[in-house]
Amino acid sequence: MQELTNVSVEFMVFDQKFKVDIPVKTEPIHKIEFLTVLHPLTDLFVDFAVEKSIKEGKTISCKKGCGACCRQLVPITESEVYLLYEALMIMPKKNRNKIQQQFEKAINKLDKAELLELLEDINELTSEELRELGEKYFALGIACPFLENESCSIHHNRPMACREYLVTSPAINCSNPQKGMIDVMPLPNSISVAAAQLDEPLHSNYVRQVPLIFSLWLAEEFPDDSPQIDSVDMLRKLFSRMAKKQIKDEPNKEQ
């Protein structure tokens, strides 16, 4: 049996210091397994943000059965590519085939719309180019292949970007997003972005984040052979990146 150790982290969240003990394995683990640490951490940060929004009198509009945002361009980390692939591979054959076909249809649609190249270069785009690409992607109406009856069929394994995306504007606005019509709940810090920066690139085009819609193709094209990692070291790097971002965002505040 592998031993666990607690990593204590103190961090600023919306002007308040919080401390958390994160249990991690002392032995090296696979990067996919590290997502079992990252996903609860993401949920914790989201909980802080939800609490703050509610205190400010805002209501979270996202509910089970509303999958409008699941037609957006979803950036995921490279470890999540393989987690989604694993989740797909253990599904009953009938469901798996259906989802694989949906991935294929989506790629064909994106190819026809000449968006594949831009999606491949997602990490090179400016925020304005990324926003434009996101609008074009949404306009194609491609539902995430894991969306079933407007609910996520892999809810437990859903990517960090999906966990972090909540809105306080009316849900109806999400099906026809226009500039300024959607209020995305602000997060104290994004674990998904910090975690993506910890991943080694699969190949030169994929530096940090990859579109979810490429996950099946990527996992098959580049079978996972990443080395095992030290969880304590990864957590140290993760929080150090987040702290640097926080200092940059709030240059006049003491950390």
Instruction: Catalog residues that contact ligand SF4 under the rule CB under 6 A.
Output: 67, 70, 74, 144, 146-147, 152, 154, 158-159, 162
> Least CB distance from residue 99 to ligand SF4, whole Å?
10
Residue 13 vs 219, nearer CB to ligand SF4? 219
Distance between CA 255 and CA 250 in Å, rounded? Answer: 9
* CA 193 to chain CA centroid, nearest Å: 8
Amino acid 22 reads I
> Is there a contact between 51 and 157 (Cβ–Cβ < 8 Å)?
no
67 or 188: whose CB is closer to ligand SF4? Answer: 67
Residue 69 beta carbon to ligand SF4: minimum distance, rounded to whole angstroms:
7
Which spans in 113-206 are helix H?
116-120, 127-139, 160-164, 191-196
39 vs 241 by CB, closer to ligand SF4: 39
- The CB-of-108 to ligand SF4 minimum distance in angstroms stands at 19
Considering the complex, state which of residue 20 and residue 152 has its C-beta at the smaller distance from ligand SF4. 152
**Shortest reach from residue 98's CB to ligand SF4, in Å:** 14
Tokens (6 digits) for 220: 């098959």
Tokens of 240: 């150090």
- The tokens for 223 are 């079978």
